[in-house]
Amino acid sequence: MNSKLSYAGVDVSAATLDVRVRTAGGETHTAQFGNNAAGHQQLIRSITKKGRAARVVLEATGVYSLDLALALHAAQGVEVMVVNPRSARRFAEARLQRSSTDRTMALTLCEFAARMEFVPWTPPAPEIRELREIGRRIATLTAERTSELNRLHAARSSAETAAVVVNDIAVNARHLARRIAALERRALELIAAHPQLQQAYRHITSVKGFAARSALQLLGELLVLPSDMLVRQWVAHSGLDVRHFDSGTSVHKQPRISKHGNAHIRRILYMPALVAIQREPHVRAFYDQLIAAGKEKLQAVVAVMRKLLHAVYGMLKTNTDFDGARFRRLPEGA
């Protein structure tokens, strides 16, 4: 065994990185770093000190793990493996590990790195990462423009607002619209230049409800995920998985979505779900079925969002356009 090789497992959360390191000689230590650019570099220096090479394992589900994986991949002397959470969980079960905390998960991933076949991670293509960043920037600017338009409406409704202020708000709203349009043009150029993106974009926009902006934003969020993730892991990653709240015989709260994970995906899916309910008969039939079963309107919309994510997963995996009959068959005579 290489005496200069160390193994590390990293449990990633929004703010921190819990790390367990084991050298080939059996020495172990734990550490915690901030989940930011400075913390990533501190982690790299820690696991490669004294000229050691390092193999690092982290899970694929975390919304906060991509930047860390990219930093590790770029570091000299470091190999990174991004594992399917199911594999990590089964490994923990095989080791009879009963508890699950940030530190115990870091230990599990460290042992995984040392004992299991190591498969180096391949980062998402640059165009996919650029598409994700463009999509998120569009979302930020769109929110700013909405705020400005609300201010403009309020300013025009008040006789006390100076004309120069009204004009300034209007100019800024138009400027934001131009910037959004420029980013969308760049995103569509990226998609047109890469057959994989073009194909996936066509499949998503085959759903009545996904316009250009929502489709390109969703592509950027989904295509950075590991290709071996299952659809239920997509759902959990997006925070659309259902959580039940039961305790004893007296506490039985309504199930709710977890909202853990990638809030961008939930935001992107919301408006397409509303539009699809209005324009796509099969989606409408599914929604109406939920309402007839006693679901609240918002619960039914969230269920449509989740099922649309399932549909997108299927379309991208099978390279097919949207098939409404697979979403929900229409009632007889409809």
Q: Which amino acid is at 239?
A: G
Predicted TM-score (pTM) of this structure: 0.81
Cα separation, 308 vs 305, whole angstroms: 5
Quick one: 245 exposed, middle or buried, by C-beta within 10 A (0-12, 13-18, 19+)?
exposed
pLDDT at 96: 66
DSSP string over 165-176: HHHHHHHHHHHH
pLDDT at 248: 46
Q: Alpha carbon 323 to chain centroid distance?
A: 24
Tens digit of each residue's pLDDT (9 = 90 or more) over 58-94? 987 656 788 899 999 999 999 999 987 777 778 877 7
Tens digit of each residue's pLDDT (9 = 90 or more) over 305-330? 999 999 999 999 999 999 999 998 88
pLDDT at 66: 86
> Which long-range CB contacts under 8 A does 241-246 form with residues at least 24 apart?
none
Tens digit of each residue's pLDDT (9 = 90 or more) over 42-60? 999 999 988 889 999 998 7
Give the percent of the chain with pLDDT over 90: 68
Flag the least confident range among 131-140, 149-158, 261-270, 323-332.
Answer: 323-332
Higher pLDDT, 278 or 100: 278
Half-sphere exposure of 315 (CA within 13 A, CB side): 24
Q: Measuring CA to CA, which residue among 57, 59, 11 is closest to residue 31? A: 11
Higher pLDDT, 266 or 4: 266
The answer to whether 32 and 130 have CB atoms below 8 angstroms apart is no
Radius of gyration of the chain (CA): 24
pLDDT at 50: 81
The answer to whether 182 and 188 have CB atoms below 8 angstroms apart is no
Tens digit of each residue's pLDDT (9 = 90 or more) over 181-234? 999 999 999 999 999 999 999 999 999 999 999 999 999 999 998 887 889 889
Tens digit of each residue's pLDDT (9 = 90 or more) over 227-253? 878 898 899 888 898 865 444 444 445
